């Protein structure tokens, strides 16, 4: 059991800041449903992200763009029912906050009211500053997301590493400082050079959570289905798989099919 797990009952945004100050790493994972969220929470992660990656791993879409606010609320409310300890962050989906701060506020309030989650995450920097500020004024904690922001995939054109060039790296640092200044409680940095992530982490007092951003950040986040080896095609360098559940589940289910076909299931003890 980690030090943080023993000391804190509910993880709050203040707890995350304390962990950063103490130099204790923060573990964050995604979850989208009740059953998995229970396991993720029990495993001791500090933050559970109801990510719009649900669009990929739960709904089978190629990108995160199609998922709707109602669908995010459905996933988030399932997760909320399961979680006792972790802070729950919910992604505002594409089209529910960009360029319209009133819409952003309405979307964030719907998530908080209808799911019972604790905070929201928005992708982008200066270009969505108004939206973030408006959400913050309602008392909704906001996490930022910079670097590779999958909702902008059609602008980038590829999922390759971001901010390798000086101009983009400088903008990213400026955006991180701006997010801290306006009151975000943390920032996800996705797929950027490790040296840049280190520089950002040292320049702000709020926790920086990396995904494909190297080790010199305050914590790490991964997509649950990737960690468990349920997704097979997705094999980026930054991913560490802890299980190969695709093969394990397939093997178990093939045995079930065989037992049914052979008439071995149910046996005498498995009936009334």
Q: Which residues are catalytic?
A: 190
CA distance 105 to 97: 8
User: Pick from 13, 53, 107, 151: which binds ligand KIV (CB under 6 A)?
Assistant: 53
55: left (phi over 0), alpha (psi -120 to 50) or beta: alpha
Contact status: 144 vs ligand KIV (CB under 6 A): no
The window from 48-56, 93-101, 128-136, 243-251 that contacts ligand KIV (CB under 6 A) reads 48-56
> What phi and psi values does residue 30 have, to the nearest 5 degrees?
-85, 160
In the bound state, the residue with its beta carbon closest to ligand KIV is: 51
174-213: contacts with ligand KIV (CB under 6 A): 188, 190, 211
Where are any strands of DSSP class E within the chain?
26-30, 47-50, 87-91, 119-123, 142-147, 186-190, 208-211, 219-222
Name the token pair of 242: 């802890």
Are the CB atoms for 176 and 186 separated by under 8 Å? no
Q: Residue 218 interacts with ligand KIV (CB under 6 A)?
A: no
Answer yes or no: are the C-beta atoms of 148 and 191 closer than 8 Å: yes
Which C-beta is closer to ligand KIV: that of 159 or that of 271? Answer: 159
How many angstroms from the chain centroid is the CA of residue 20? 18
Contact set for ligand KIV, span 78-107 (CB under 6 A):
91
| Residue 221 found at the interface with ligand KIV (CB under 6 A) | yes
Q: Does 223 bind ligand KIV (CB under 6 A)?
A: yes
Tell me how far, at minimum, the Cβ of 12 lies from ligand KIV, in Å: 20
Does 231 sit near ligand KIV (CB under 6 A)? no
CB of 11 to ligand KIV, least distance (A): 17
Question: How many whole angstroms separate alpha carbon 159 and alpha carbon 87?
Answer: 28
Judged by beta carbon, residue 59 or residue 253, the one nearer ligand KIV is: 59
| Interface residues toward ligand KIV, by CB under 6 A | 30, 49, 51-53, 91, 188, 190, 211, 221, 223
């Amino acid at each position: 059991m980690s030090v943080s797990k023993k000391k804190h009952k509910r993880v709050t945004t203040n707890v995350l800041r304390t962990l950063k100050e103490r130099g204790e790493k923060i573990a964050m994972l995604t979850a989208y449903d009740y059953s998995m969220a229970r396991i993720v929470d029990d495993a001791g992660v500090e933050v559970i992200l109801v990510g719009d990656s649900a669009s990929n791993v739960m709904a089978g879409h190629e990108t995160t763009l199609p998922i709707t606010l109602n669908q995010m609320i459905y996933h988030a409310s399932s997760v909320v029912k399961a979680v006792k300890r972790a802070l729950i962050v919910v992604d505002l989906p594409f089209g529910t906050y960009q360029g319209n701060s009133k819409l952003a506020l309405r979307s964030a309030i719907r998530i908080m009211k209808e799911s019972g989650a604790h905070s929201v995450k928005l992708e982008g920097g200066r270009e969505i500053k108004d939206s973030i500020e408006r959400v913050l004024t309602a008392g909704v904690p906001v996490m930022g997301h910079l670097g590779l922001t999958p909702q902008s995939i059609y602008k980038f054109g590829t999922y390759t590493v971001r901010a390798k060039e000086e101009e983009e790296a400088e903008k990213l640092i400026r955006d991180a400082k701006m997010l801290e200044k306006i009151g975000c409680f943390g920032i996800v940095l996705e797929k950027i050079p490790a040296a840049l992530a280190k520089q950002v982490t040292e320049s702000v007092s709020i926790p920086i959570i990396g995904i494909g951003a190297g080790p010199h950040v305050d914590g790490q986040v991964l997509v649950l289905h990737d960690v468990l080896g349920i997704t097979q095609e997705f094999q980026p360098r930054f991913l560490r798989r802890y299980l190969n559940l695709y093969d394990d589940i397939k093997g178990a289910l093939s045995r079930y099919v065989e037992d049914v076909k052979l008439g071995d299931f149910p046996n005498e003890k498995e009936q009334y």
